[in-house]
Structure 1
Amino acid sequence: MSEWFEESFGEDYLLVYRHRTMADAEDEVDAIVEWLDLSPKDHILDLCCGTGRHSIALARRGYRVTGLDLSETLLSHAVALSKGLPVRFVHGDMRSLPFSKEMFDVVLNLFTSFGYFVEDRDNERVLAEIRRVLKPGGRFLIDFLNRPAVLRSLVPVSEREEDEVKIREERWIEGDVVCKRIFVSDARGERRYEERVKMYSRDQMEEMMRRAGLSVQQVWGDFEGNPHTERSRRMIIAGRRPE
């Protein structure tokens, strides 16, 4: 039986998340450049890059970027969108990165691309892989959901229409997992997808990172740079692999 993330990141995903724009990515990259003090010499891994919005925004600024994703559909869009830019896209699993150790100066993991696995050990493998591919002193940034905000503001059902396609999203909590069921209906019929993300508190994230050999340095609540609190929209964690 396939995992949900092997089924959900196809052409319909692009429609469901069309509101996540290139302009948003440009603004987020502006913050990342400042927060991580990026250098033109940095080699950056955009881990779970999707259609490459952030990879492209970084490449436009002259950074050397590699984007990795499991979805070949999303990667094909990334390649098309990045034509002419110095960015490389690679197919792979974030639990076992197809890169040599100490290859990157920076690893980015954006738009809640963490917590995809049922078992904590698999999510911790992702952090261990981030450490492995980072150079000593290399920096990382993980943009994750903020559990208290999700619990407080979860919308059980929403419906909308995009280009004559009806989209219905149902959301619920199962223990530590926030779940979403997506129904996409058009002239071709109805398709159904699921998303399941394991929610971790800030303390849990920091402890997992410590065990993986990563040092947390700063936590923000959004890309505007506000401090992280229980009411923050996001939990954006930045740190380093120690020297």
Structure 2
Amino acid sequence: MSDSLAKNSENWFSTWFDTPYYHILYKNRNDEEAQGFMDNITHYLNLPENGTILDLACGKGRHSIYLNKLGYTVTGVDLSENSINIAKEFENENLHFKTHDMRVPMHETYDAVFNLFTSFGYFETHEDNINTLKAIKESLNEYGFGVIDFFNADFILENLIPEETKEIDGIVFNIKKRVENKKIIKEIRFEDKGESYFFTEKVSAFTLEDFEQMMEEAGIYLLEVFGDYKLRKFYKTQSERLIMIFK
């Protein structure tokens, strides 16, 4: 992928998320922490036994697979065909994966819709973000809860590391981060097998206030906000996560 193509790609996520390198760079994510979060959030929501959950932007399905082990009927969807093909290996009668654009509502409704690990804010337009929230709303049944787990932009911006290097599986990833037009831009450069690669991630640095405005526009009622995976109180300057529960 050429530098110019990577830089100018509005839908950067549809190429980067489909590469094996995306999964290599992020493979050391903390599964124990993620599973603890799923235990806490399902307990907090008091979801019905055998309840139905939509995992929106599920990646390779690590949250979906664990939620299914907890006894829920789970559908995981993602725009990345490669990720979904990997996730499909774990399917069973109560666990299904499919390729789907989160801006579009599902045909079914669910007891909960989870959008986890900062899987929001990739789109270029306000309209796309609102359409995503409306799609979540339309995918919930009348008793259903929505959950968005986002980074806390105030904390992230205050603690941004402009440059770092990570070596994973013999590949040296050079990562630069900056803020531009209220977006966090992450540039990732590396070489592998004699080829040079360059990818850009762009995520909107939405604050709680931004989400409150968007939710109002989408007709969503924000119920509760937490600041970490243990569901502790949200502090604007200290919390690492922004976890929102809505109806």
Calculate the TM-score normalised by the size of structure 2: 0.91
Structure 2 residue matching 1:169: 3-state secondary structure: strand
Q: Does 1:232 align with 2:223?
A: no
Q: Deviation at 1:7?
A: 1.1
Q: Describe the SS at the equivalent of 1:124.
A: helix
2:137 maps to which residue?
A: 131
Q: Tell me if structure 2 keeps the 8 A contact 1:25–1:57.
A: no
Match of 2:39 in 1: 30
1:121 counterpart residue number: 127
The equivalent residue for 1:189 is: 195
Structure 2 counterparts to residues 134-173 of structure 1, below 5 A? 134-173=140-179
1:183 Cα deviation from its structure 2 partner: 1.5
CA contact (8 A) 1:45 1:106 kept: yes
Kept in 1, the 8 Å contact 2:130–2:214? The answer is yes
Q: How far off is 1:188 after superposition?
A: 4.2
User: 1:104 corresponds to which residue?
Assistant: 110
Which 5+ residue runs of structure 2 have no aligned equivalent?
1-8
Cα 1:52–1:2, aligned 2, differ >3 Å: closer, same or farther?
Answer: same
The more displaced of 177-186 and 104-113 is: 177-186
| Alignment pair present for 1:51 and 2:90 | no
- What is the root-mean-square deviation of aligned Cα atoms in Å? 1.5
1:5-20 equivalence runs, <5 A: 5-9=13-17, 10-20=19-29
> How far apart are 1:167 and its partner, in Å?
0.9
Q: Paired residues, what number?
A: 237
Q: Are residues 1:215 and 2:224 paired?
A: no
Q: Are residue 69 (structure 1) and residue 75 (structure 2) matched?
A: no
Aligned residues with identical type, % of pairs: 34
Gaps (5+ residues) in structure 1?
A: none
**Residue 118 of structure 1: how far off its partner (Å):** 1.5
TM-score by length of 1: 0.93
For residue 103 of structure 2, the aligned residue among 90, 95, 100 is 95
After superposition, what is the alpha-carbon deviation per residue over 1:209-234, rounded to whole angstroms, capped at 9, x for unaligned?
Answer: 12212111110111012211112101
1:17-47 deviations in Å (ceiling 9; x for gaps): 0111433321121111122112223211000
Task: Tell me what 1:78 maps to.
Answer: 87
**Contact persistence 2:58–2:78 (CA under 8 A):** yes
In 2, Cα distance between equivalents of 1:2 and 1:85: 37
The alpha carbon displacement at 1:189 in A equals 1.9
> Following superposition, which runs of at least 4 residues in structure 1 exceed 3 angstroms of deviation?
none
Which of the residues 157, 174, 178 maps onto 2:180?
174
